[in-house]
Structure 1
Amino acid sequence: MIADVLADAQARMDRAVEAAKDDFATVRTGRANPQMFQKVLVDYYGSPTPLSQLASLANPEARSLIVTPYDKSALKAIEQAIRDIPNLGVNPTNDGNIVRVTMPELTQDRRKEYVKIVRTKGEDAKVHVRGIRRKSKDDLDALKSDIGEDELVRAEKELDALTKAHVDAIDDALKRKETELLEV
């Protein structure tokens, strides 16, 4: 029973760390990266559809990205969805066949803004991991009548170590992203 609770907590915390890393990848670093558009939703015939399902993304140069839609009728919607991305500061151009996105040069102030955004995303991920810990601790407390006090204390220590390891993993990913953002 204890092992099940701890295994579930570990699996959920692992997913939270991966989600945080994916979130960090969506923040740009001066290079055009198709991952920045990973979470872009396009209004395609009235339903929000991920951009990756509507178009192919190519990176011909360091600061440009070409979006080639599979369906040319979605061109305007894709262009609008890219234009509406917050904190990106790009103005996509549409030539009738493709959407070309050119990334502007990052200023030092803009880099610092991105660092703040990444820190906020990192803190949100750590709060999520702590929420998983809290729920798992409640699950362990519910087992208190079935298991001994010593087993409960041991399980809580394991849960705390698990939480610390995952929070540290988020912090490491955050430090790498900050370094990448501030690199000129």
Structure 2
Amino acid sequence: MAEPDIKDLERRMNGAVETLRQDFAGLRTGRANTAMLDPVMVDVYGAAMPINQVATISTPEARLLSVQVWDRSNVSAVEKAIRNSGLGLNPMTEGSTLRIPVPELNEERRREMSKVASKYAEQSKVAIRNVRRDGMDGVKKSEKNGDLAQDDAKKWSERIQKLTDDHIAQVDEILSHKEKEIMQV
């Protein structure tokens, strides 16, 4: 490896930012959104599965989620997973359908959601830093093997660091926007 694959590093960092956007789509701001249940994992058939693989999620009203469980034997597992998800939702069972009213967010719950958003952002930053570490390790290895001159290695390291800083700034900006959205009454 003479030169690091900047395109690959950038693609991986963009993936971390995109994952953050998806996680934030699931954080509610007082309105029902089917993406709210995306992080919920259900223990069925001896494995943890995403809720969208065992049920259909819809929003019949602005403040109500409806979860239609495909296999009636999984209804209690889905209900338990939603209750234990930390989203503050309390499903009501009607046959194989779960009705989930989305409560109004109070100040305490908004602060809690803001902390969850910060946690997601930090996970994204860690993923970006891990990509940076992989890139830097590649540069050091190439330099050690004599495939890359010391000056070139320094330039590549600076480029990788700049790419990392840009993506971290992007994460901070997305977090700031989401926090404003959550705290808005």
TM range (shorter): over 0.9
Q: Which residue of 2 aligns with 1:56?
A: 56
Q: Which residue of 1 aligns with 2:154?
A: 153
Residue correspondence of structure 1 range 127-146 to structure 2 within 5 A: 127-144=126-143, 145-146=146-147
TM-score (norm 2): 0.92
Counterparts in 2 of 1:134 and 1:95: CA distance versus 1, 3 Å: same
Residue correspondence of structure 1 range 27-42 to structure 2 within 5 A: 27-42=27-42
Equivalent residues, number: 183
Question: What is the distance in 1 between the residues matched to 2:119 and 2:76?
Answer: 32
Q: Which residue of 2 aligns with 1:69?
A: 69
Amino acid at match of 1:70: W
Residue 31 of structure 1 contacts residue 103 of structure 1 at CA under 8 Å; is this kept in 2? Answer: yes
Instruction: For residue 4 of structure 1, report the CA deviation from its aligned partner.
Output: 4.3
Amino acid at match of 2:133: R
Question: What is the distance in 2 between the residues matched to 1:119 and 1:65?
Answer: 25
Residue 5 of structure 1 contacts residue 139 of structure 1 at CA under 8 Å; is this kept in 2? Answer: no
SS of 2:49's equivalent in the other structure is: strand
> Which residues of structure 2 form unaligned runs of 5+?
none
Q: Which residue of 2 aligns with 1:79?
A: 79
Amino acid at match of 2:6: L
Residue 40 of structure 2 contacts residue 50 of structure 2 at CA under 8 Å; is this kept in 1? Answer: yes
CA offset digits 1:79-125 (Å, max 9, x no partner): 11111111x22210001131000111111121112112211221221
Question: What is the distance in 2 between the residues matched to 1:12 and 1:149?
Answer: 26
Amino acid at match of 1:148: A
Question: What is the distance in 1 between the residues matched to 2:138 and 2:75?
Answer: 49
Q: Which residue of 2 aligns with 1:22?
A: 22
Instruction: For residue 182 of structure 1, report the CA deviation from its aligned partner.
Output: 0.9
Q: Which residue of 2 aligns with 1:102?
A: 101
Question: What is the distance in 1 between the residues matched to 2:6 and 2:102?
Answer: 44
SS of 1:60's equivalent in the other structure is: strand
Question: What is the distance in 1 between the residues matched to 2:9 and 2:43?
Answer: 36
CA offset digits 1:119-162 (Å, max 9, x no partner): 12212211221122122111101111111122112211211111
CA offset digits 1:35-73 (Å, max 9, x no partner): 111121112222212110111111011111000112222
Root-mean-square deviation over aligned CA pairs: 1.5
SS of 2:178's equivalent in the other structure is: helix
Amino acid at match of 1:134: R
SS of 1:143's equivalent in the other structure is: helix
> Which residues of structure 1 form unaligned runs of 5+?
none
